[in-house]
């Protein structure tokens, strides 16, 4: 299996460019289901230890169903599949440029949740116009053991998020173990109380926010991902969900820039426009850098042919 690795503002992406499963044709959502049901060992092989690690998001390149698109892409991580991935889309875009499959300028990428417009400003800086984003529930009260009562919004930005405006723990690298455990407890309590996204969808991302110490930044965040890792970047889908909440509250106007900072201090610049039916269309700008390419090998007799599951969250 051939791959190219990159990182977007610190968050890694592994793009599978050859040797992945043949998922056939048809809608990408159907091909994602085929991937999950018939070829999940390929996901595990590409992403789990010892060939990968908990923070990597994988991206399988596919032939797009829509001929306007430069490529189709299915995102996955150490525990499953993602409808969309903001930082991963930026990583895919610079990878396609490296492979001379796209040029600087605008191209379309097809994902299981919709078409994403990408603009390569340079070989490393990319803007993505994400799928329509929206707030589903406002100011949900959640009592969490050890943390007290927290309030958060449920919003969609390509994945489902529970966004807590005032982080229960200060967002610093030194507090990472405490932030991870707090987010794990929040997600567990959401499950226990049956709080979901639209149509009963699981809320699998938790986002804590707080003011930044920099005057150039609007907010600092910590995002806990489905596989038990934290997002090293400011999170593209999480920032999209954040914009949807800000727009719903009238706190950010169309075209205004919102600068989102990660726990590492890396940044995305974001803005939005309304689409023709009044939905938020976020644009996220960030930078990605290539950091490796190679071939993953499965040798006969390997006791871990599809990798080692580290369990993820429960």
State the Cα–Cα distance between residues 285 and 30, nearest whole angstrom: 29
Q: Do residues 187 and 204 lie in contact, with contact meaning Cβ atoms separated by under 8 Å?
A: yes
Active site residues: 85, 235
CB proximity list for 41: less than 8 A, separation 6 or greater: 305, 306
Contacts of 67 (CB under 8 A, 6+ apart): none
Residue 115 Cα distances to 154, 157, 251, angstroms: 23, 13, 27
The helix/strand/coil state of 249 is coil
Among left, alpha and beta (phi > 0; psi -120 to 50; other), residue 235 is: left
Nearest residue to 238 (alpha-carbon basis) of 205, 264, 261? 205
Distance CA(216)–CA(313), nearest Å, equals 34
């Amino acid at each position: 299996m051939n791959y190219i690795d990159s990182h977007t503002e610190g968050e890694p992406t592994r793009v599978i460019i050859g040797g992945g499963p043949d998922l056939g044709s048809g809608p990408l959502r159907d091909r994602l289901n085929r991937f999950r049901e018939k070829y999940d060992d390929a996901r595990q092989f590409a992403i789990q230890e010892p060939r990968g690690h908990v923070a990597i998001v994988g991206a399988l390149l596919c032939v797009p169903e829509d001929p306007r698109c430069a490529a189709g892409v299915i995102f996955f991580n150490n525990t499953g599949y993602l409808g969309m991935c903001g930082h991963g889309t930026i990583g895919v875009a610079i990878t396609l440029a490296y492979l001379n499959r796209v040029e600087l300028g605008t191209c379309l990428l097809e994902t299981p949740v919709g078409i994403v417009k990408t603009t390569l400003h340079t070989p490393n800086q990319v803007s993505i116009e994400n799928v329509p984003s929206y707030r589903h529930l406002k100011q949900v009260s959640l009592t969490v053991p050890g943390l007290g009562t927290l309030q958060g919004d449920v919003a969609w930005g390509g994945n489902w998020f529970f966004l807590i405006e005032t982080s229960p723990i200060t967002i610093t690298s030194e507090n990472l173990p405490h932030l991870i455990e707090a987010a794990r407890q929040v997600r567990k309590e959401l499950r226990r109380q049956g709080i979901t996204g639209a149509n009963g969808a699981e809320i699998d991302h938790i986002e804590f926010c707080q003011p930044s110490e920099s005057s150039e930044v609007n907010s600092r965040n910590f995002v806990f991902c489905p596989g038990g890792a934290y997002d090293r970047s400011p999170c593209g889908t999480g920032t999209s969900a954040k914009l949807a909440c800000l727009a719903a509250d009238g706190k950010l106007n169309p075209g205004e820039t919102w600068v989102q900072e990660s726990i590492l201090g890396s940044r995305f610049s974001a803005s939005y426009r309304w689409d023709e039916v009044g939905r938020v269309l976020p644009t996220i700008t960030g930078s990605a850098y290539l950091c490796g390419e190679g071939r993953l090998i499965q040798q006969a007799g390997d006791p871990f042919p599809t990798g080692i599951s580290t369990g993820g969250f429960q």
